[in-house]
Amino acid sequence: MRRAILALSSTIAGLVLLLSFKIHIPGSTDAGTTAASGSAAGTGAGSADMAGAGHAGHAGQARREARKARPPHGAATRTVTGTVADTTYGPMQVQLTLAGQSITRVKVLQRTDDGAESDQIDASAIPKLINETLAVQSARINAVSGASYTSAGYRRSLQSALDQAGA
Amino acid sequence: MANTIRSRTAPLPRPASSPPPPAAPAGARRAAAPAGPGTAPQPAVARPPAASRPALWRAGPRQVLGVIAAGALGVAALWLSNAPPVTSLGDALTAAANILGLLAGYGVVVLVALMARLPPLERGLGTSQLSRWHGMGGRYVLSVIAAHAVFVTWGYAVSAHVNVLSETASILTTQPDVLMATVGGALLLAVGIVSARAIRRRMSYETWYYLHLYAYLGIALAFAHQFAVGGTFAGSLSNRVFWSVLYGIVAGLVIWYRIITPARRLARHNFRVAGLRQEAPDIMSLYIAGEHLQELRAEPGQFFRWRFLSREHWWQSHPYSLSAVPQPDVLRITVKCRGDGTDALRRVRPGTRVVAEGPYGAFTPAPGRRGVVLIAGGVGITPLRAMFAALPDTVGDRPGGITLIYRASHPRDIVFRRELDGIAATRGVVVHYLTGSRRELGADPLAAASLTRLVPSLHRREAYICGPPGMVDTVIASLRTAGMPRRRIHHESFDF
């Protein structure tokens, strides 16, 4: 019994400690959802298009970007387009804008097109994926709940774009 | 350490260190041991010099726990290296689920490794200690898996603004490999449930053992979803490689030590039943002949898992301790027939091939010159019989430096009486036979008062106890009462 309590409390302590490294006071938490409702209206190419600058409220995120990217002033801004990733519900394709090695903008050129449900799922998922991409500055992102195919396709296209960019 | 013991026992006279000839029909014995005249009946003449052998590596409990803890920190670092920022309640729950999932994925690897029959663990910690850790760790990992499932569902439900039930359905049906992982988790849970003490007792060892194999399937089923949905792995090739290597190494160890090693030993040592001998109405000794047995580096007090390759027995394997000091050409085990297939061992024919997995167990004499008390209950005498003959002379030098106490409920249950008396006489040490039920005796002969009376300076000795679980507990309590520190009490019971 004493061991059980010890195991439980140390696990919880470990969890809280780990999470505390990643938690940020939500200032711009709703950016994703707002963008989602906004982009739900548009369909097809270019429906979700966000710039990284909008998320400076995340202290850790900003630090991470700063650390990862360290973009020199006047670094060439370039655009790379990922390959089309086919999913069960249609194609996914992203286009990145990079300043030096840092991703400043993600544009979704093509997204799944399997009817209204597809639209709805993408509308809420894509902003989250983009947010996370800008935060993590890589394709190492979690799948969005309920949008696993979209997430997987997005990730593949994103990875191919990053590969091309040499990031 | 082991070497010292072995070389010290080498010059002992024959009755002490080598088992008497088996009572097998001569023809059968010939058939069983074609290796020449040096089979079972002969004493061990040529023991290899101890000096030429490197010491065996024994892992201590602190080292093992240290490695496990370091691995857990590594898992935490793996998560930190790659986790997105947490900005909402849903994120926090999902992140917690991620960490718990990683912890569970790491935990199952540790649990399997503990049971992979790694020689340093088996010699250092011993099988009973490992089993206890595995049991405790198993309960912990199952709880972590359950918490992981709860947090994933909850976190996703919060993020997606839907209720938990529909989110559960959505996760199971849409997330890749998650359904499979759920089945895997359920298998692990089922394995955990049948291992709960109350249920385990109602099951035969084999049923429980074969059900336990489903744990491997469960782990395999749960593997894919870690890469498919887990953010730590999905986007990071290096993390995926690292994780796969971790799983691969442990799988390799299991295959090597649980499958390949026994098979190689069967080929190399050619174990066969050389003979059987009735020791008491329901206790029987089996002599197992083999070649190059010194290479196994078995020590008195250790056991092997024996699988007799006859039509009746091949599918079950039983742990039995060596009941005599191991010889280069023969090992002896002594078995109490009490159902569960052990009864059928009476019908094993000499010449039957045997798979011997081992040696296992850390119930071996600790180094040192301290006096020793060996306390056996019933058939628990077997490992102590081997130790009794093998304890270094340095211990026996002082008069009464070794005392054996042998508890049995009836005088006819005493086995090896002649051997034990022979060893005692040769070495000038003491054996006490305590027979009769507690009611007949009027008191428990294993109570602290009685033990203190029997054994001079009891609390200053090193104690080795083997017997049924209840008896072992009683003796431990008595010795503690008599003032013996816990670290000097070594025990083994038959409950694994």
Convert the pLDDT of each residue in B68-92 to its tens digit.
999 999 999 999 888 877 888 888 9
pLDDT at residue A29 is higher than 50: no
Domain locations along chain A: 29-165
Confidence (pLDDT) at B31 = 35
pLDDT for the residue B398: 59
- A57-93 pLDDT, tens per residue? 333 344 344 344 344 444 567 888 888 888 888 889 9
pLDDT of residue B51: 45
Task: Give the residue with greater pLDDT, A119 vs A6.
Answer: A6
Nearest CA-CA partner of B417 in B276, B275, B277, B279: B279
Q: Are the C-beta atoms of residues B296 and B258 closer than 8 Å to each other?
A: no
Q: What pLDDT digit, counting tens, does each position of B404-421 carry?
A: 999 998 888 899 999 999
Residues of B in contact with A58 (CB under 8 A): 85, 87
Confidence of residue B214 (pLDDT cuts 50, 70, 90): very high
Is B80 close to A124, i.e. CB distance below 8 A?
no
CA distances to B250, B333, B442 from B368, rounded to whole Å, are 35, 27, 37
Q: Residue A107: what pLDDT?
A: 87
Residue of A nearest to B82 (CA): A140
What's residue B395's pLDDT? Answer: 62
All residues of chain B having their beta carbon less than 8 Å from the beta carbon of residue A29 are: 87-88
Nearest-neighbour CA in chain B from A76: distance (Å) = 26
Strand intervals (E) in B265-353: 272-280, 283-289, 303-308, 318-321, 330-336
Burial string for B289-306 (b: 16+ CB within 10 Å, else e) reads bbbebbebbbbbbbbbbb
Rounded to two decimals, the ipTM of the complex is 0.72
- Mean pLDDT over each residue of chain B, to the nearest integer: 83
User: Residue B6: is its pLDDT beyond 70?
Assistant: no
User: Nearest chain A Cα to B240, which residue?
Assistant: A140
Low-confidence winner among A58-72, A95-109, B49-63, B236-250 (lowest mean pLDDT): A58-72
Task: Quote the pLDDT of residue B136.
Answer: 92
Distance from CA of A74 to the nearest CA of B (A): 28
User: How much is the average pLDDT of B121-128?
Assistant: 88
pLDDT of residue B47: 40
A29-165: CATH architecture = Alpha-Beta Complex (3.90)
Residue B260: what pLDDT? 94
* Residue contact B86–A24, C-beta within 8 A: yes
Would you say residue B197 has pLDDT above 70? yes
Closest CA of chain B from A75, distance in Å: 26
B97 touches chain A (CB under 8 A): no
pLDDT for B386 equals 92
Share of chain B above pLDDT 90, in %: 46
Residue B207 pLDDT: 86
Please return the burial class of B423, using the count of CB atoms within 10 Å of its CB with bins 0-12, 13-18 and 19+: buried
| pLDDT over 90 at B249, yes or no | yes
Higher confidence at residue B373 or residue B236?
B373
Say which range, B106-110, B279-283, B354-358, B391-395, has the weakest mean pLDDT.
B391-395
* pLDDT band of B494, cuts 50, 70, 90: low
Is B84 in Cβ contact with A136 (below 8 Å)? yes
Whole-number average pLDDT of chain A: 71
Angle B417-427/B381-390 helices, nearest 10 degrees? 30
Residue B39 binned pLDDT confidence (cut-offs 50, 70, 90) = very low
Token pair in block for residue A149: 């195919």
Banded pLDDT at B53 (limits 50, 70, 90): low
Of A18, A22, A145, the CB nearest to B156: A145
State how far the Cα of A98 lies from the Cα of A88, in Å rounded to an integer: 29
Strand order in the sheet with B489-493: B430-435, B402-408, B372-377, B462-467, B489-493
Task: Judge whether B88 is closer than 8 Å to chain A, CB to CB.
Answer: yes
Task: Give the three-class secondary structure for B2.
Answer: helix
Question: What local confidence, expressed as pLDDT, does residue B336 receive?
Answer: 85
Nearest by CB to B79, from A4, A18, A146: name it: A18
Residue B402 three-state SS: strand
Looking at residues A94-114, what average pLDDT do you find?
A: 85
How far apart CA B154 and CA A31 sit, in angstroms, is 22
Cβ of residue B77 closer than 8 Å to a chain A Cβ: no
Question: What is the crossing angle of helices B127-160 and B178-195, to 10°?
Answer: 140
* More confident: A99 or B20: A99
Whether residue A94 is predicted with pLDDT greater than 60 in this model: the reply is: yes
Question: Per-residue pLDDT averaged across B312-336, rounded?
Answer: 90
pLDDT at B216: 95
**Quick check: B309 pLDDT over 70?**
yes
Question: Which string of DSSP letters, residue by residue, matches B107-137?
Answer: HHHHHHHHTS--HHHHHHT-HHHHHHHHHHH
Q: What is the pTM of this model?
A: 0.69
pLDDT cut 70: percent of chain B above it: 86
Q: Mark yes or no for CB contact B171/A145 under 8 Å.
A: yes
Nearest-Cα distance to chain B for A99, in Å, is 21
Residue numbers of B between 168 and 187 with CB closer than 8 Å to A? 170-171, 174-176
Residue of B317, B326, B342 whose CA lies nearest to B287: B326
Pairing of strands A102-110, B272-280: unpaired
What would the pLDDT profile of B142-165 be if each residue is shown by its tens digit? Answer: 999 999 999 999 988 888 888 888
Q: For position B341, what pLDDT does the model report?
A: 59
Q: Report the candidate in B298, B302, B306, B292 with the shortest Cα–Cα distance to residue B356.
A: B306
Residue partners of B235: CB distance under 8 A and separation at least 6: A136, A138, A139, A140, A141, A155, A159, B82
- pLDDT, residue B311, reads 86
Is B132 near chain A, with CB under 8 Å? Answer: no
A interface residues, B as partner, C-beta within 8 Å: 3-4, 7, 11, 14-15, 18-19, 21-24, 26, 28-29, 58, 60-61, 64, 124, 132, 135-136, 138-149, 152, 155, 159
Report the pLDDT averaged over residues A139-158.
86
Q: pLDDT tens digit string along B354-394?
A: 999 989 988 988 777 788 999 999 889 999 999 988 887 66
Express as a percent the part of chain A with pLDDT over 70. Answer: 68
Is B164 or B287 the better-scoring residue by pLDDT? B287
| pLDDT in the model for residue B394 | 63
